[in-house]
Structure 1
Amino acid sequence: LEAGASLPPLLLSDEEAVAFAIGLRMVAAGRLRRGAESALSALAKLEQVLPSRLRRRVKAMAPDARRTSPGDGEFSSSVLTDLALACRDRERVRIGYEPAEGKRQERRVEPSALVPSGRDWYLVCWDVDRADWRTFRVDRITGVERLRVRFAPRSLPPERVDELVAVARTWGPRTEEAAAVVELPIERFRAVFGEWAQGATAEGPERTRWPVGGASARDIAYGLSWIPAEADYRVELAESDRAELRVLLEGMLEALDR
């Protein structure tokens, strides 16, 4: 057992096992800047082998990792641990999902990563029926059914995981709607924007229509700022929003001139 060797199996007493499980739940629920993912993975392994009598003790002494705040749902550590095990074992699962708008859905997915971001957890996975990568907020997952089907892992670099989660965090219902019609073929547009090209549609062979929106004209201005400078485009939006955006931009230009 030299320093640097692989960690050997641990022989834990009942009390030690319960203490470990409680501590790991607290770390995972606390969403520490570092360590939450490792705690969740370790918790999944530990709870998988705990006898039922000890699992009951852990549940009684440490409530599930729950969060409730205005406008947000809540989730339990059982959902997180089921998803963590599916990520580890490369096992396909069926999840129940309730999007912010719309009816409950059932999706068959191949979990790749669980990512804490801000006060939320996100599941990054391959959607079997849609044949594409998808990101689901864990507090909107209402159940996890393990399908006992293994899958071969697909290549997904860490930077792509970060991008998928960033898009999921910012993509949502919009109170202000606009569209940019960009003089770029849709293939080129998708190559430039990556995951941020969500919702883009071809408008002829050389143009792409891209929905831009948010809570205010400022959000629209921010979205438009990401269109490449060399690409010509026009903006379609309501006249009231157009007037607000014009005032905002004129004020910024005057400030730059000063």
Structure 2
Amino acid sequence: MDRTQLADFLRRCRTRLSPADVGLGPGARRRTPGLRREEVAQLTGMSTDYYTRLEQARGPRPSRQMLTALARALRLTDDERDHLFHLVGEEPPRDRSSSGHVRPGLLLVLDRLYDTPAMVVNDWGEVLAQNPMAAALSGDISARPPGKRNMIRRYFTDPDMRRLVPPEDQEEHARSHVANLRAVLAARPDDLAPAALVAELRAASQEFAALWEAHEVAVRRSAVKRFLHPVVGLLELECEVLLSSEHAQRLIVHSARPGTESYERLELLRVVGLQDLAARG
């Protein structure tokens, strides 16, 4: 691990970004260009002290999960992400479809969607990035360990996630999740990650196991979805799914039609939900 070069690379990548580039407010007046260290730490889910030690060339060796988080927070290109891994003495992920690296351009679009819930997921349900509105709608995924950020796993094992869906819609949601996972596993039978998720959920959920045996297949596409939020109530949202085929990633955007009750409630969520996130931050 080359701590000196790693520290220099992190500093240069941090100073070339502005808060607006990563979806943050401008904050207090800045004496130097770029993001602050505490902002990078916030975006990656690490402590400020941990990140500071990395920039001072005295930190511990980051894990692969932490390197992936840093690459995402600093909006690194694929080549820059690989360089980051090499500096730490790690082999970069070679399977782009499951590496968890989100292209900077896709993150830029996500950051601009400040008033509607949006997130980037891979094709088997791993949430790779989300904006604050998505966190306000369905929970802050960055607060979860790297292995607990899968939306399909959450739907079948987390009662809080299940309660966000009206009871009369839950069966259809479950069928959609399983049918999509079927399609992914058939397309990439040698990819260990989705196969492991299927094995885990077949053992953990009788509902999942029964749906899996039904052998329905359907790729997730745009649709209308309803959410039963504990604060703002029922939301009927247009769910648009934009595909990035090169990386098997999807940008999922939820919006409400202007003039509807759901639109007004989404506006309320933007105020109340974001205040709650700020208070917890």
TM-score, normalised with respect to structure 2: 0.26
**TM score, norm. by length of structure 1:** 0.27
Of Structure 1 and Structure 2, which has the larger fraction of its residues in helix? Answer: 2
Higher RCO structure, 1 or 2 (CA under 8 Å, sep 6+) = 2
**Hey, which of these two has a bigger chunk of strand by percent?**
1
Please say which structure displays the higher CA radius of gyration: 1
